[in-house]
Structure 1
């Protein structure tokens, strides 16, 4: 793994959450539309704080992973993300160490590829591995 990059927070009302975090952090986020996500129906906001980001993620689709997360657990930390340079090799290495993933292969998204570890294998925390497109800095 190259570095920690993000903590993702599932929210029901993106506008309210953006107002809360903007006020708390004293900065404005970069707004993200559905085209920025591997799963359809998501939208969000990303705050750049030092060498990491805080992402607020909401959904208009009741079938999306974020909507299901909120339905079962309520709003809160949904995932933590690590940038990697070889996502498939890291998946193999982590699988050998007992981690299971929600999908067998990384999912494409506009900034690169992403795969999520099943939270049952990571003590209740969904861990994301993100491999950015060549030349793209996630921060």
Structure 2
């Protein structure tokens, strides 16, 4: 079911400061910010080999990332795995009794289809499944 690690999500309080840190200290090229209004975030991505890091800044305190920052502070937020067919993956997980946050895919950053598995089911790790649009990598 899992194709590869698509990205790791980091919750940050200041998107531009975090991007600048990775650009200046590690020499990466961070993409342009993208707002995902439904999730209450602004996100920026950069590549590390075949995977990516997603920097997440909440646009409102009551968003999931806003709540995370309020409770835990900045840091690792989630791991995202690429899947070929997210609808089938979600159905298979649900049929096997796995608790999902999202039973239907939503639109995520970069036009992906995405959904979250509850961290209780993944040993405390918030897990995102991502289907790339039209097979894009």
Q: Which runs of 4+ in 1 moved over 2 A?
A: 37-41, 92-99
Between stretches 89-98 and 60-69, larger displacement belongs to 89-98
Q: State whether residues 39 and 64 of structure 2, in contact with CA within 8 Å, keep that contact through their aligned partners in structure 1.
A: no
Which secondary structure state, in structure 1, belongs to the residue aligned with residue 128 of structure 2?
A: strand
Q: How many residues align?
A: 135
Partner of residue 53, structure 1: 52
SS in 2 for 1:20: helix
Asked if 1:117 corresponds to 2:106, the answer is: no
Q: 1:64-95: CA deviations, max 9, x gaps?
A: 11101111111111111111111121112223
Which has a greater percent of helix? 2
Q: Is the 8 A contact 1:9 1:75 kept in 2?
A: yes
1:111, CA displacement in angstroms? Answer: 1.8
Following TM superposition, by how much is the alpha carbon of 1:22 offset from its aligned partner in structure 2, in angstroms?
A: 1.8
RMSD of the alignment, in Å?
A: 1.7
Aligned to 2:17: 16
Unaligned runs of 5+ in 2: none
TM-score by length of 1: 0.87
| Secondary structure class of the residue paired with 2:29 | coil
Provide the C-alpha distance between the structure 2 equivalents of 1:99 and 1:21, rounded to a whole number of angstroms. 35
What TM-score comes out, normalization by structure 2 length? 0.88
